[in-house]
Amino acid sequence: MFSRLLTPKWVLLHLLVAALFVATFFLGHWQLSKAEAGGGAVNWSYALQWPLYGFMGLWFYVRMVRVELHRSPDDDQPGNAVVLYQRPRIDASGDPELAAYNAYLAELNERALGQRSTDGR
């Protein structure tokens, strides 16, 4: 279960989050020293905000890890669901211009789905 969190991608993410969490406290300490040296209200607010940013980032990261742990491992596998395609019916009983336009749209749809060659055969 926890082996998913030990892949190279996750290990790098763990290290990055830990480094950034510690960095926010260093930045908060730096702002606090600036505020104590007479930096003003802005430095006092930043001295409080940096640790809050660190805890906020850690909270989001813990949520992301919890989602990964509760996710089904089969979500990464490509689906094998059968998609049925039914060619749309073209109503030719009314306006001939509308019928021609609908036929053109049906042809574009078939080309996009790869069900018909592009040369009309």
Write the DSSP assignment of 55-121 as a string of letters.
Answer: HHHHHHHHHHHHHHHHS-GGGGSPP-------PPP---SS-HHHHHHHHHHHHHHHHHTTSS-TT--
Digit-coded pLDDT (tens) for 80-101: 666 666 666 666 677 888 888 8
Answer yes or no: pTM beyond 0.85. Answer: no
Write the DSSP symbol of residue 36: I
**pLDDT at residue 92, as a whole number:** 66
User: In the chain, what are the domain boundaries?
Assistant: 2-76, 82-121
| Signed CA dihedral, 40, 42, 48, 51: sign only | negative
Mean pLDDT value of segment 10-25: 95
Digit-coded pLDDT (tens) for 45-56: 999 999 999 999
